[in-house]
Amino acid sequence: MDKHADVISRLQAIFREELDLPNLQISPQSTPDDVDGWDSLATIRIVAAVEREFDREFEAAQIESIRSVADLISMIAA
Whether the model pTM is above 0.85 = yes
Asked if 65 and 71 count as a contact pair (C-beta separation under 8 A), the reply is: yes
- pLDDT for the residue 41: 96
Which pLDDT value is given to residue 3? 86
Summarize pLDDT for 14-73 with one digit per residue, the tens: 999 999 999 999 999 999 999 999 999 999 999 999 999 999 999 999 999 999 999 999
